[in-house]
Amino acid sequence: MQRYFIKLAYDGSSFFGWQTQPREVNIQDALTDAISLILKVESAKLVGCGRTDTGVHASCYYAHFDLESPILDINKTIYKLNNYLAHSVAILDLFAVSPDAHARFDATIRTYNYFIHQEKNPFSNKYSLLFLRELDTNKMNLAAKILLNHSDFSAFSKIGSDNKSTLCKVIEAKWEVSDKQIKFTISADRFLRNMVRAIVGTMLEVGLGKISVEDFEMVIKSGSRQNAGASAPAHALFLSNIKYPFISV
């Protein structure tokens, strides 16, 4: 038995997230169908590095699957998969790993980016949030630093989620401004469902002066989703990087 890691990117606009869902179009099923057809296996059991919500994109995503026989021509297989899959899904790499390598459990760091543009631009709207009101990004960065001092992010978890734990270790969180573009970067060992969008939505309230930086920390300490701001729209969120101890790039 040989285990393979597959690296892909996808535009989540037309998908109901990564995870298999009955009667809903999702990336996991689309990729499983492609692998099963191209590699002529009955049903490839695909395990992803995590879930992404409906409408969220990934510029870097990993999954693993097992085959009884090794793939003889990796490049040809990548070509065939890309030729079969919709334009919104791209296979970036495919490689053999040890039998115990796990796309979800071996991931050490996950990074998300959220994009905002503050000048009307028809070419940015699909992957960035148009936000014309003035934002105090200095205060937003002060709030971002507070995330590194906490581990329980219940306040930013979707109500009703079946989280076994609400503990996450955030190692990076920052806002960067370039002309009329604003980018939020956050990296952690794991994320709760809807966590990044809830954090962004609450930080926008800090940037607008609706709540203070101190209020933001109180939201975290409260552990209540009802105290946090509304979730930012999904279309501007990207899973942008996953780190593994056995992958150098």
Catalytic residue (choose from 29, 53, 152, 162): 53
- Residues 217, 210: Cα–Cα separation, whole Å: 14
Residue 162 designated active-site:
no
Dihedral angle over CA of 190, 230, 175, 133, nearest 10: 170
Query: Tokens in use for 191?
Result: 């994320």
- Residues 190, 38: Cα–Cα separation, whole Å: 32
Q: Collapse the DSSP code of 210 into the 3-class scheme (helix H, G, I; strand E, B; otherwise coil) and give the result.
A: coil
- Residues 63, 20: Cα–Cα separation, whole Å: 13
CB 220 within 8 Å of CB 155: yes
Question: What residues are paired with 214 via a beta bridge?
Answer: none
Residues serving a catalytic function are 53
